[in-house]
Every structure is written in structure tokens, then in C-alpha cells.
């Protein structure tokens, strides 16, 4: 379906990303799934192609584009059928590094952004803790100033790129007297910093080719210059970037849904049962038609919400709607697509089996569906 938000330039960018996914990701994804790791060369390759810093200024090696390009990148990576690959890249481009781009000092940007754009540095964001996920205000990691250093103590859980990254952006409480969302700050932590360790990699249901880890900080000492943004204002940094994060999760969900429906349509056209192709069965044909209809609604909401965000509008309501609806929809799509594949859909050699597992995290990560719906409800005075 056409969209008023898509330009010829954006469609050219889409075509370039799709070609890369089809030629350089899909042929190798199964190997990455088995090894549980994406080769670092994939990041440098994406850096060469200009895909890792498309929304950052050219002076740092970026492309100077806006959030619409992030949405397209997320869609096309979602079409890869390897959710772990999509997650690893999008955490780097749109969930972690924007904290630096939006709130970093000039010295910090010049130190890190070129490597982020060319793929020589991989980033991760550390907000979630064992007892604080969607409830960011409940985090317990502490940072205390001692002379000309900050000392971090605490842990982070479910961190994508946790073992893989070179640079981490960590949220910690810097004012123990402040309540709730107050008194939180962001810090830059380089891999190898004494007192910082990856305690374990987590064995997940899906996203098998991306690493997810628990991070531990035990008297981890950082220079004062590693404070990212304003002291005690880190909560606002996290909330601001949640908008971008939720838009790209919406883009992932749209791309994954579209690819799953394409694969399923091809399958039911060729699978013979009860004297004809499955597509000839009205129940299947109409169900797929409804799923395509819902997908197009989600896609148009994705583009409109992204346009609002790019325009500087207050779009928390729309972003929350997008995140909730698209994340639930992709799981509805995967359920039916697997059903229509029959027993084959339950076998690991079928892409739908993997995609169904990968999709299950989307209503949880980046703000659970229930949290998103509460954001919507507040804005309707429900």
C-alpha cells in the first residue's frame, strides 16, 4: 500500500537495505543462530554501507537522515527472519547510541560516534535490572562521587549486546535521597574497565544469534568525564529515547509480520490438501486477508507516528499505541502463519518456527504492552 510519507529517496534506501539483507544476512543467519553470535565483520560491513549511523551528523561519519530512515531500517531487518540479528543492530543504532548522540558532550561524540558509525565499536544500553524493567524509576544501581571519580555498584539484566559490546551506556542512581525517577544519571562505561564484568550470558527462547547478558559493577571507577548528559537528569534521557526505541520495535514487528505472511502465502498456494491448494479454503484465505489488513493499518500508524516524532510533535500516545498494537499483532500473525504451515511450521528448518519464537519478546521488551496501554489510557483520561 502506498504512503504519503514515502519518498523516492526513502525507497532507494529501503532497496539498498533489502538487497543487503537478502544477499548477506539470510544466507548466513542459520550459522549465527547455532553459534549464538553474529560475526563482528557484519557490523563493519554495515558501517561500510552507511547503515549504522544514518541518523547521525555527517561530521561524525553519519548520514544526516531522520527517524523515518530508522523505521525503514527496522522494517527491512525484520524481514531477515532472524530477530536476533535485527535486535543486535537496532540496539546499537537506535536504542543505545542515541543517548550519546542526543546528550553527549562534543568531546564524547568525537571520541565514540565515528566508531559507532563505522561499526568498529558496538554499543549496549544498561537500564533494566533484576527488579526494575519497564519501571525505570525502580532501578537500584548506584553511582557515588569520590574525588575525581564516579564509583558504580549494582547490576543490569537482559542486556542485548551485553557480552558483545565495546561501549555501554549505564543508568545509575546518583542522588540516594531523591524519589522515583529523580536522581538518576547516565554514564559511559568502556569494556575492560576495572570493576565491570559480564557475569553470564543468558540462554533465551528466541533471538538466539544475539547475546543477552547480565552485567555487574563492583566498585567500578569512572572518570568524571564519563558522566553522560546532566547530573540527575538521566531519567529524561531514557524516556526521550524510549520514543525512538519503540518506533523501531514497531518497525521490526511490521517487517517480521510482512515476511511471515509472504512465506505463508507462498506455502498455502503450493500445499495441496483435500483435493486442492490450501489457499482455496475460504477460512484460510479470509484469515490471511484480515491479517494483511491489520498489517497495513500497523504500517500506516508506524509511518504517521514516525512523521510526528520527526516533526517534533508530542507523540507519546501514538508511539505507545504503535508499540502495543504492532507487538501484539506480530504474535497474532506468527500464530496463524505457523498454524497454516501445519506440522512443518513446528520444525526448526522452517523459518516460521524461529520467527514465532523471536516475536514473543516484542510485547515485553522496550516497555510491556500493559505499560504502553496505560500510557494511552492516561491520555484519554480513562
Catalytic residue among 214, 245, 256, 258: 245
* Rounded-to-10 torsion of CA 24, 29, 35, 40: 30
Residues 93 and 123: their CA atoms lie apart, in Å, by: 8
Q: Are strands 149-160 and 142-146 parallel, antiparallel or unpaired?
A: antiparallel
Residues 264 and 337: their CA atoms lie apart, in Å, by: 6
DSSP state of 12: H
Maximum pairwise Cα distance, the chain: 80
Would residue 245 show up in a list of annotated catalytic residues for this protein? yes
Q: Which three cell numbers stand for residue 275?
A: 483435493
Q: On the CB side of 157, how many CA atoms lie within 13 Å of its CA? A: 11
Classify the phi-psi angles of 50: left when phi > 0, otherwise alpha if psi is within -120 to 50, otherwise beta. Answer: left
Residues 6+ apart with CB under 8 A from 59: none
Q: Could you identify the residue written with the cell 548477506?
A: 24
Q: Which three cell numbers stand for residue 33?
A: 543462530
Residues 45 and 23: their CA atoms lie apart, in Å, by: 12
Q: Could you identify the residue written with the cell 527491512?
A: 76
* Rounded-to-10 torsion of CA 181, 309, 57, 159: 40
Classify residue 85 as exposed, middle or buried by CB count within 10 Å of its CB (0-12, 13-18, 19+): buried
Confirm if 337 and 344 have CB atoms less than 8 A apart.
no
> Which residues participate in catalysis according to the annotation?
245
Amino acid at each position: 500500500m502506498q504512503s504519503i510519507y514515502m519518498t523516492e529517496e526513502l525507497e532507494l534506501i529501503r532497496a539498498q537495505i533489502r538487497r543487503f539483507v537478502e544477499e548477506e544476512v539470510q544466507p548466513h543467519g542459520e550459522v549465527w543462530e547455532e553459534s549464538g553470535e553474529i560475526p563482528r565483520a557484519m557490523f563493519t560491513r554495515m558501517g561500510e554501507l552507511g547503515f549504522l549511523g544514518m541518523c547521525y551528523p555527517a561530521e561524525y561519519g553519519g548520514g544526516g537522515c531522520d527517524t523515518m530512515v530508522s523505521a525503514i531500517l527496522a522494517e527491512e531487518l525484520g524481514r531477515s527472519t532472524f530477530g536476533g540479528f535485527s535486535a543486535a543492530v537496532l540496539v546499537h543504532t537506535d536504542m543505545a547510541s542515541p543517548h550519546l548522540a542526543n546528550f553527549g558532550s562534543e568531546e564524547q561524540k568525537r571520541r565514540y560516534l565515528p566508531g559507532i558509525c563505522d561499526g568498529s565499536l558496538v554499543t549496549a544500553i544498561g537500564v533494566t535490572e533484576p527488579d526494575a524493567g519497564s519501571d525505570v524509576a525502580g532501578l537500584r544501581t548506584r553511582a557515588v562521587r569520590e574525588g575525581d571519580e564516579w564509583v558504580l555498584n549494582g547490576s543490569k539484566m537482559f542486556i542485548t549486546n551485553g557480552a558483545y559490546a565495546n561501549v555501554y551506556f549505564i543508568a545509575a542512581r546518583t542522588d540516594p535521597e531523591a524519589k522515583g525517577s529523580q536522581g538518576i544519571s547516565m554514564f559511559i562505561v568502556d569494556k575492560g574497565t576495572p570493576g565491570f564484568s559480564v557475569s553470564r550470558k543468558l540462554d533465551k527462547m528466541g533471538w538466539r544469534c544475539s547475546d543477552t547478558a547480565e552485567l555487574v559493577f563492583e566498585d567500578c571507577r569512572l572518570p568524571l568525564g564519563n558522566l553522560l548528559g546532566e547530573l540527575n537528569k538521566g531519567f529524561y534521557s531514557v524516556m526521550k529515547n524510549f520514543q525512538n526505541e519503540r518506533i523501531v520495535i514497531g518497525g521490526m514487528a511490521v517487517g517480521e509480520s510482512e515476511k511471515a505472511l509472504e512465506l505463508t502465502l507462498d506455502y498455502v498456494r503450493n500445499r495441496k490438501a483435500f483435493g486442492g491448494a490450501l489457499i482455496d479454503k475460504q477460512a484460510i484465505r479470509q484469515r490471511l486477508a484480515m491479517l494483511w489488513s491489520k498489517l497495513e493499518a500497523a504500517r500506516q500508524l508506524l509511518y504517521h507516528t514516525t512523521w510526528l516524532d520527526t516533526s517534533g510533535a508530542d507523540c507519546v500516545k501514538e508511539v505507545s499505541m504503535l508499540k502495543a498494537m504492532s507487538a501484539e499483532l506480530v504474535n497474532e500473525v506468527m500464530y496463524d502463519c505457523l498454524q497454516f504451515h501445519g506440522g512443518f511450521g513446528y520444525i526448526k528448518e522452517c523459518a516460521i518456527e524461529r520467527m514465532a519464537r523471536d516475536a514473543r519478546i516484542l510485547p515485553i521488551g522496550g516497555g510491556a504492552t500493559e505499560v504502553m496501554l496505560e500510557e494511552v489510557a492516561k491520555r484519554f483520561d480513562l
